[in-house]
Amino acid sequence: MVGMEQRADEAEMIITAKIDDDFARAMAEPGLAAAKARFGRTTATRLSALPRHPAYNKARGFNQDDAHHLESICAFFADAALLPLIEVWAGDASASLGRRLAHAGFYAAEVNTTLHTRPGRPTSTPPGIEIREVTPDDDDTVYLATLFSGYGLTAEADSAQRAMMAIEHRSPHLRRYLAYIDGRPAGAAALYTARQRGYLAGAATVPGMRNRGCQSALIQQRLHDAADTSSYVVVTTAFGSPSQANLQRLGFTIAHTRTLWRPLQPD
């Protein structure tokens, strides 16, 4: 029987590969002030241009073997005037690790989940929705505009996040999709593939087009296409969220949960 720690390692391998890919390109953009470091099995990333964005600024996969690196991990973030965020996967969680983090001034703030499934099931697109793949040769202006609109990103206020999201969605390992309703772009989503694994990496629906089945259609299309290159597909979401319920309805099961530890702040 596969243990939780092994399932977590298998699921997170493809996510870490994408982070390595994205940050290698982000570090070439001076305006983002991106950096990445490895502390044993723990991967730490920071993006000074987006200090309040936990997905870009945290140490992932912190574990008992790496506990002696905690001070160095905190220093990695402090060097950029950022608060350290520490993510512990369920298979690595223990009373001693929790005490170590608590004594260092951290508290368990939120829980997310990684889900997994096998690709290849047939698609069932709701009437009125059309899924089109954006090929590497296509102009991706509409794709990015749809993605930004779905995430509520404006050109003026969110330029750094738009720049980082564009880097993430221009990976050479990415397949990109648009959902159309009545000929209008309504949703965007991506499939990252590497090492015979797939990762449903980023998806958003334009506000006025929500609750019409776009995300379910995009998930099913990506699972269908992932069978070309992958034997295993993962996705992450907030634990207990409507998104998790939708993913489980479409065949995903929980690989493991991830607890995000934040530093306590003075009142």
Identify whether residues 16 and 81 lie together within a single domain.
yes
Residue with tokens 């951290």: 106
Number of domains into which the chain is organized: 2
pLDDT for residue 120: 87
75/172 same-domain check? no
- Asked if the structure places residue 237 within a domain, the reply is no
Predicted model pTM: 0.91
**Pair (100, 201) in one structural domain:** no
Note the pLDDT tens digit of each residue in 162-204: 999 999 999 999 999 999 999 999 999 999 999 889 999 989 9
Whether 106 and 11 map to the same domain: the answer is yes
Selection from 184, 246, 186, 259 nearest residue 219 by Cα = 246
Q: Which domain holds residue 33?
A: 4-117+258-263
pLDDT, tens digit (0-9, with 9 covering 90-100), for 92-128: 999 999 999 999 999 999 999 999 999 987 777 788 8
Q: Phi, psi (5° rounding) for residue 56?
A: -95, -15
102, 191: one domain: no
Question: Looking at the structure, do residues 39 and 110 belong to the same domain, yes or no?
Answer: yes
Residue 199, domain CATH: 3.40.630.30
Q: What is the rounded CA–CA span in Å between residue 116 and residue 13? A: 12
Domain check: are 56 and 137 in the same one?
A: no
State the pLDDT at residue 3: 57
- With respect to residue 248, please indicate whether it lies within any of the assigned structural domains: no
Whether residue 106 is found in the same domain as residue 152: no
Q: Say yes or no: 148 and 58 in one domain.
A: no
CB 199 within 8 A of CB 233: yes
The one-letter amino acid code at 13 reads: M
In a domain, 253, yes or no: no
Residue 266's pLDDT is 67
Residue 255 pLDDT: 93
Residues 112 and 133 reside in one and the same domain:
no
Residue 238 lies in a domain: no
Q: Are residues 75 and 156 in the same domain?
A: no
Residue-level pLDDT at 125? 79
Look at residue 204 and tell me if it is in a domain: yes
* CB-CB contact of 231 with 48 (8 Å): no
H or E element in which residue 12 lies: helix 4-26
Residue 77 lies in a domain: yes
Separation of alpha carbons 21 and 18, rounded Å: 5
Mean pLDDT of the chain, nearest integer: 93
Structural tokens at position 6: 């092994």
Q: How distant, in Å, are the alpha carbons of 16, 73, 89, 264 from that of 41?
A: 11, 12, 12, 25
Binning pLDDT at 50, 70 and 90, where does residue 2 land? low
Residues 13 and 110 grouped into a single domain: yes
- Specify if 86 maps to a domain: yes
Q: Tens of pLDDT along 9-66? A: 778 999 999 999 999 999 999 999 999 999 999 999 999 999 999 999 999 999 999 9
Q: Could you tell me if residue 219 is inside a domain?
A: yes
pLDDT above 80: residue 227: yes
Q: How many CB atoms lie within 10 A of CB 171?
A: 18
